[in-house]
A = this chain, B = another copy of it.
């Protein structure tokens, strides 16, 4: 529907200025909203899919209106507020954004400085940015597109601060779109990617809004200024799990695109020689190229399955929550934080491996790889900065470890921290003994990933213990063990990914598919062991002589995958128009289309650039 719609035709954004890119994105988004109404697309997953086709791989100016403003109204607005705001917002009379992050504070939201002070005389809130660092910064669509913002601010009433609450603040005139009095709003300037989005700033100078503009479904402020607390809101856990499961899915998709481009191109590109006198081989025949790309291909599949698992998990939890059962939430919340960080970091590096595996042409915007990178990399920072996420997961792991030590019996994914699991690890004997691990057996590999995680959690816990024995406070002990804690979380997540990949194989009946996915799973697991071999050796889970065996096994897996590699990326089934890469074209006709693309570059619109007449020709006479 999207590909055949002339209303969505576009110029390659790489040929446009920032303002033209924004302009084109708004045009397409306006068309998109019309079409979604026409086709009756309202289901969130359908909407997400349709939007992904309209703006393939690119965030757009309406993202926060559709993805944050409307859902926040649905979740937190009273019925009176729904009446006032929802339909106008649905009909784009009101275009909104979600203004949380400030120049001075991101992930640590308790530190936000914007204030909302209740004035019982006029029954208004006074929204104010008291400092430069309190200026709202980054919200998508805030700069030029939105006329409303849901502003997160510290609520003050009757002289007391009650922490962060959400307020609906009109920021531009509905008719003229000009900023309202007291509002300084604009675009935060060019970024690494996100060129279509007007990420904005918002400075509020004692802006008054009616009491009824505080989102009051849960917390409330009475007309006299009396504050009424919200019931405890564990529901937000579920939303975070959902968003983070989407990000894990995005990691998988970014890898699917990158490997599709790099592996197809590596089958098209012929270069140099392996055997003298023979024709130049496809660069995919070089072991070094396979070693760059096939582990990333395996990772793309692994993260796809993890994303699916988390999505299903989210729906299961939502069911549990509706039944009043919150028991699994803490573990899953911790897991989703860690997996968000683990998958985005890994994908972030892997995209660049794919790009650089394409040689010079990977630097051309026509390859699409630079765009994939710059649109993806922010996921390492937004929705919870990755290091902070890893430390959140670590907090859960350490708590679980201590519970196990105190004799509690752990369930679920951290059950490996139970006493009997730990007894199997004896780091002190480590290096000497020969291990019973069968490197050809996937379940055996899952097992040593588990034991590695257990070892590193224990090391982190002991580091904290040691610090405490040196009379450090809990907080300093924590900070002084942070390196170990991040490492423990990383190992935990790595174990979960390998485990989920292995479990997925159990659900696949078709023998040929099972076979090739098993090859990928083994490669994923062995490659991870290889690049983290120190952990496994140190913990005595492998001995030194097994490392060269693992290297040999990896080489065999690379050879096994070689004939299937192109089919394995074709299976991601990414349409050429969605991929938008001359290197990754399905038909392999790379060079002609690269030439054609280049000729359309704006710098070629004139034969002679005006700078020749302005600067170069006059220069001659001056020399």
Contact = CB atoms under 8 A, between A and B. Distances in A.
A41 to B, nearest CB: 14
A381 B356 contact: yes
Interface stretch (A206-214, A297-305, A361-369): A361-369
Contact of A432 (B370, B431, B611, B622): B431
A427 B545 CA distance: 8
Interface stretch (A239-247, A403-411, A613-621): A613-621
A564 interface: no
B201 A595 contact: yes
Contact of A591 (B132, B192, B480, B620): B132
A465 interface: no
Given A22-B611, A33-B619, A608-B177, A189 B601 contact: yes
Please state the number of chain copies in the assembly.
2
A27 B430 contact: no
A188 interface: yes
22 contacts: A23-B614, A30-B619, A91-B623, A92-B616, A93-B620, A103-B591, A107-B271, A107-B359, A108-B273, A133-B591, A143-B604, A145-B616, A189-B597, A190-B365, A191-B365, A192-B363, A192-B364, A272-B388, A274-B476, A356-B380, A363-B377, A483-B555
A192 B370 contact: yes
A603 interface: yes
A98 interface: no
Given A108-B271, A280-B111, A483 B19 contact: no
Given A95-B616, A483-B288, A364 B176 contact: no
Interface in A271-295: 271-276, 280, 285-289, 291-292
A537 interface: yes
A101 interface: yes
A239 to B, nearest CB: 21
Interface in A244-273: 270-273
A187 to B, nearest CB: 4
B179 A475 contact: no
A235 interface: no
Interface string A565-597: 000000000000000000000000001101101
A547 B188 CA distance: 45
A612 interface: yes
